[in-house]
Structure 1
Amino acid sequence: MSIKSLAARKDSLSKPERQLEILDNGLFSEAELPRFSEKLAETGNFPLKPGKLEVLQLNLGYMCNQVCSHCHVDAGPDRKEIMTRETMEKCLEVIRKTSAHTLDLTGGAPEMNPNFRWFVEQASKAGIRDFIVRSNLTIILANKKYYDLPEFFKKYNVHVVSSLPFYKKEKTDKQRGNGVFDKSIRVLQMLNEVGYAQEGTGLKLDLVYNPAGAFLPTNQEAMEQDFKKALKTDFNIDFNSLFAITNLPISRFLEYLIASDNYEDYMYELVNAYNPEAVKNVMCTNTISVSWDGWLYDCDFNQMLELKVASTVKHVSEYNEQALQDREIIISQHCYGCTAGAGSSCQGTVA
């Protein structure tokens, strides 16, 4: 069965199950793609085990005001999955006792969760060192109720990590939708105006770059300098760091790869760029990902494939950090994306 035939199957399989079957059993024209577990074993990294827990990442829901072509969450305005206040209460219990130093709120657009502000207020009291909110920026201009978010973020010293595919309008709008670039620029200016990325404020503003096609990101440091120069020159915008993140072959990006006949080439590119040094710092070794409904995952990519942690503890309501430390990390072929080249994580390159 061809890749496109696998992708088009209409049977009892859910979308995550169908995508896993493509990743695990997809046919290649030249040679069989080596298993990721085999690559790990060749370099002495199998089984993959967690290190010290540093990041607790919570997905507050898949609802978003944008529908981006590369989105690994399949987020959009029509998604109804939202973390409830009850699940948030369970997460707060974990935050108060976790050894992790970073709380990372993501989505969709996490700001669209109706309990978002309440949760930020409560979580900020827990003593987490780095409090991240991953924002698509445009949500701040989507509705008047969001207009004051830059001041709200400042009040709670939120570390804002913002999506910006490129420093030029054409590429950004192609990937994220018409008008997104202009709105993103305005919101970055608003964040600068309240003190973000300004000397002496301690308010951190980082940008995230994802490639717009079936290729790996180039050197992160060089790209950061290009972004800083262009945004400062053209719009007087400052930011702290740029994170270059590889697009993993799951969700919408996997669908794009298959539809454009790029899947096979892209997978071989990831395999050929495998870097054992990147394995040491992949995000699944220092992160626990919590889904909108409280299930626990090694990372948010596994969350999208519904690959729960291999532990007796699988839900935030029964959270036990020691039990989770004893697990083996669940892997599949998509994991090549995090170990290709300089590696990739939610904090950018890792090697």
Structure 2
Amino acid sequence: MNRFSETLTAHSLALRRSKTEVLQVNVGKLCNLTCMHCHVNAGPKRKEIMTRGTVDRVIDWFARTEIPTIDLTGGAPEMIPDFRYFIERVKTLRPSRRVIDRCNLTILLEPGYEGLAQFLARHKVEIIASMPCYTAENVNAQRGQGVFDSSIKALRVLNSLGYGSDLPLHLVYNPVGAFLPGPQAELEADYKRELKKHFGIIFNNLYTITNLPIARFASYLRHNNKLEEYMQLLIDNFNPATVFGLMCRNTISVGWTGEVFDCDFNQMLNMNWRNGSGPLHLWDLDPAAVENREILTGNHCFGCTAGAGSSCAGALV
């Protein structure tokens, strides 16, 4: 039963796509971390990564459109062999476009990735970095031992390259458990105060993102007998004011094989766009045919509409 769809109807709301502002490309599930809250089930043993051929087809399609932003995510997007090639080619074809790297910070310090931070700065890539708390205890609980210290080191490197001042550096907060994020503005003020005071770190904005009950986080909830309770929390906190700003309205999500989805969460649930009997690939999509398309929903969508709402750019209201 799609209770989310019923809830929209009860509030006289329809969820359709608006003008596309972002092409979000999930380049694969390979990651150097195995985070508790991960909706991708990403990890160091995953083999799913975007090939050079698919990278080229995605970039060629993007370059033909007027979409202003391309947003690279994963996994750890930096771990695919063609990550630097991807950014260089986009910047060559469309130098004025905004390029985002969703970075877990620790990858910048891994052997074999020397010079990556400098590469990102040189190409003026915007960084949106995972940082679920400003204390070691909470970060390590969600992301693994030692991750907090590595994240702080990476943030200092980024600051030294102009990130947080001349170049955009945003942090992402995910709750460390089965609860909703607190007010984004208050959390941002706390982060800025504590990170500056204790580590001398600066950044631009904090984005709060609700954990969605799918993949590894759903397994965590199930293991702790909290899945039904958490789903009910999301349902009880449905906020109709968030619907207009949902990222699925202005973002096209692309998987590592080139298949198209309404969002990265739908992607992990294999809720792809269809072309006749098979999945629709980005290079077969007419950009002009996207606007006003009905969005595929499921009960996981309550995660983005609970409380102040949630998106890849933080709270919605």
Q: Any conservation in 2 of the 1:103–1:128 contact (CA below 8 Å)?
A: no
| Pair 1:220-2:184 in alignment | yes
Shift of 1:137: 0.5
CA distance in 2, matches of 1:264, 1:147: 44
Q: Any conservation in 1 of the 2:69–2:100 contact (CA below 8 Å)?
A: yes
| Pair 1:135-2:135 in alignment | no
Structure 1 partner of 2:9: 41
Q: Any conservation in 2 of the 1:310–1:328 contact (CA below 8 Å)?
A: no
CA distance in 1, matches of 2:95, 2:286: 19
Structure 2 partner of 1:229: 193
Q: Any conservation in 1 of the 2:18–2:292 contact (CA below 8 Å)?
A: no
Q: How many residues align?
A: 314
Q: Any conservation in 2 of the 1:172–1:180 contact (CA below 8 Å)?
A: yes
CA distance in 2, matches of 1:329, 1:87: 25
Counterpart amino acid of 1:317? W
User: Matched residues, percent identical?
Assistant: 48
Question: What whole-Å deviation, never above 9, does each CA across 1:195-249 have from its counterpart, x for those lacking one?
Answer: 1112xx2x00000010010000000000000000000000000000000000011
Scaled by the length of structure 2, what TM-score is found? 0.96
CA distance in 1, matches of 2:261, 2:198: 41
CA distance in 1, matches of 2:236, 2:102: 31
Structure 1 partner of 2:260: 296
Counterpart amino acid of 2:244? K
Q: Secondary structure at the match of 1:280?
A: helix
Structure 1 partner of 2:62: 95
Structure 2 partner of 1:251: 215
Structure 1 residues 81, 140: CA separation in 2 closer, same or farther (over 3 Å shift)? same
Q: Any conservation in 2 of the 1:124–1:156 contact (CA below 8 Å)?
A: yes
CA distance in 2, matches of 1:128, 1:63: 29
CA distance in 2, matches of 1:284, 1:318: 20
Shift of 1:323: 2.2
**Counterparts of 1:172-321 in structure 2 under 5 Å?**
172-198=139-165, 201=166, 203-309=167-273, 314-321=280-287
Counterpart amino acid of 2:86? F
| Pair 1:164-2:131 in alignment | yes
Of 57, 66, 71 in structure 1, the residue corresponding to residue 24 of structure 2 is 57
Structure 1 residues 311, 345: CA separation in 2 closer, same or farther (over 3 Å shift)? farther
Structure 1 residues 249, 174: CA separation in 2 closer, same or farther (over 3 Å shift)? same
CA distance in 1, matches of 2:230, 2:28: 29
**Counterparts of 1:48-87 in structure 2 under 5 Å?**
48-87=15-54
CA distance in 1, matches of 2:144, 2:95: 38
Question: What whole-Å deviation, never above 9, does each CA across 1:97-131 have from its counterpart, x for those lacking one?
Answer: 22321110001000000011011100112145321
Larger Rg: 1
Q: Which runs of 5+ in 1 are unaligned?
A: 1-23, 25-33
Alignment RMSD: 1.3
Q: Any conservation in 2 of the 1:57–1:290 contact (CA below 8 Å)?
A: yes
Structure 2 partner of 1:106: 73
Q: Any conservation in 2 of the 1:311–1:324 contact (CA below 8 Å)?
A: no
Q: Any conservation in 1 of the 2:221–2:227 contact (CA below 8 Å)?
A: yes
Structure 1 stretch 118-127 or stretch 331-340: which is displaced more? 118-127
Q: Any conservation in 1 of the 2:91–2:97 contact (CA below 8 Å)?
A: no
CA distance in 2, matches of 1:310, 1:327: 12
Q: Any conservation in 2 of the 1:61–1:107 contact (CA below 8 Å)?
A: yes
Structure 1 residues 164, 241: CA separation in 2 closer, same or farther (over 3 Å shift)? same
Structure 1 stretch 113-122 or stretch 306-315: which is displaced more? 306-315
CA distance in 1, matches of 2:62, 2:192: 34
Shift of 1:326: 4.4
Runs of 4+ with deviation above 3 angstroms: 310-313
Q: Any conservation in 2 of the 1:310–1:330 contact (CA below 8 Å)?
A: no
CA distance in 2, matches of 1:333, 1:326: 22
Q: Secondary structure at the match of 1:96?
A: helix
Q: Secondary structure at the match of 1:119?
A: helix
Shift of 1:42: 1.4
Structure 1 residues 154, 194: CA separation in 2 closer, same or farther (over 3 Å shift)? same
Shift of 1:299: 0.1
Counterpart amino acid of 1:344? S
CA distance in 2, matches of 1:289, 1:248: 17
CA distance in 2, matches of 1:267, 1:78: 30
